[in-house]
Structure 1
Amino acid sequence: MKLAEFEAKWNELGTTEEGTIKCFLIGILEYLEGNKDAEKMIEMTLPKNKIDSRVRYYLKSQFDKNVAGSYLGGTPDNEYTYSYDNKVHVDSKQSKRGKKESKIFVQSGGKDFASPVHLKKNKDGYWKLFNVSSLATGVKKLTSEDDDF
């Protein structure tokens, strides 16, 4: 995805919690694909638009395509095939939404339980991610690998 295309998507989606989470995941997937603009994409979803060496290490060591893709339609059965057109699924019963701060539980296609994400709304009306570590926890192995021993 080109940076301009992502910026348009961010401008459209970043004013909702789900949209910010989706844009973050798209940025992660682009990062894992080697897109040179991916850090700029991810920065848009974070406070003060900054990625430092600590965040860079976290992105490289914790996320993989299966984990990130599992929030955009990927499952063990479809080998974590994802699409940027898919919606992020939120567990509304667990989520707590506020005018300026929210804790959203996002369902992965590869996990049994939803993962919490902490967001805050900035003065421009965009939601920014403050804690996404639980998004990066592992997912179930591919169904095709179940009996591969």
Structure 2
Amino acid sequence: MGLFDMFAGKAANQLGNAVKQTVQSAGNKTEKIVFGNLPESYEQFTALPQASLSTPFQTAAMTVLAFCFYPKDSELCYRMIDFLRGPRPMNGSDKSFIADRFRDKDYVPRSYFAGATPSNDYQPVAPYTISVSENRYSYDEQGIAKLFIKSGGADDPRPIKLRKAKDGKWYLWEYSSILLGIRQPESSNPWA
């Protein structure tokens, strides 16, 4: 191998790595959805700008917000989730699944707000911000967006699926992963 062959190989290798990094970062967008104030009623919830559900990022963040109401008022939470599900309302099995996930873990949805960590018992601060990300595989299924929400109590972001309807809105399709267990708040963890 000649001197120039070695440089050509190295340049090709560097170009290959640059192309690989570009492909891997394609579609790796993160949106920060910010709520200045948290709603106190269904009417305030549906009046939020993000309630237009015009992007899958908005619907994902609105889902987290709706689940935050469960510990205080489960029926209000279910009503909000039905709004986010659009033409596919919840059934008894869906409600039972949610109730099961909230047994002794009312802090899970709060963990998705920026600044909410085990050390502060998952207490977010205003403005209430949720980071929602996509990756290069997020739109592999036609009409479905698989996005990821970072939790202060989990090592990896949790997936959530949204589906685009004929009306152009993005509705909640699959959310089970965002309700999975996370690290306990330090105040309730005897080992912390």
The alignment status of 1:130 with 2:159, answered yes or no, reads no
TM-superposed CA distance for 1:97, in Å, is 3.8
Aligned pair partner of 1:69 in 86, 93, 110: 110
Matched residue, 2:156: 113
- Counterpart-to-counterpart distance in 2, 1:100 and 1:126: 11
Aligned pair partner of 1:3 in 32, 36, 42: 42
Which runs of 5 or more structure 2 residues have no equivalent in the other structure? Answer: 1-39
Give the direction of change, closer, same or farther, for the CA distance of 1:83–1:46 in structure 2 (3 Å limit). Answer: farther
TM-superposed CA distance for 1:11, in Å, is 5.6
> What is the TM-score when the length of structure 2 is the normalising length?
0.67
Counterpart code for 2:107: N
Matched residue, 2:91: 52
TM-superposed CA distance for 1:49, in Å, is 4.4
- Counterpart-to-counterpart distance in 1, 2:85 and 2:138: 20
Q: Percent identity?
A: 23
Q: CA RMSD in A?
A: 2.6
Structure number with higher relative contact order (C-alpha < 8 Å, ≥ 6 residues apart) = 2
> What is the TM-score when the length of structure 1 is the normalising length?
0.84
The alignment status of 1:79 with 2:121, answered yes or no, reads yes
The alignment status of 1:103 with 2:146, answered yes or no, reads yes
State whether residues 143 and 164 of structure 2, in contact with CA within 8 Å, keep that contact through their aligned partners in structure 1. Answer: yes
Give the direction of change, closer, same or farther, for the CA distance of 1:47–1:135 in structure 2 (3 Å limit). Answer: same
Give the direction of change, closer, same or farther, for the CA distance of 1:68–1:133 in structure 2 (3 Å limit). Answer: same
TM-superposed CA distance for 1:35, in Å, is 5.7
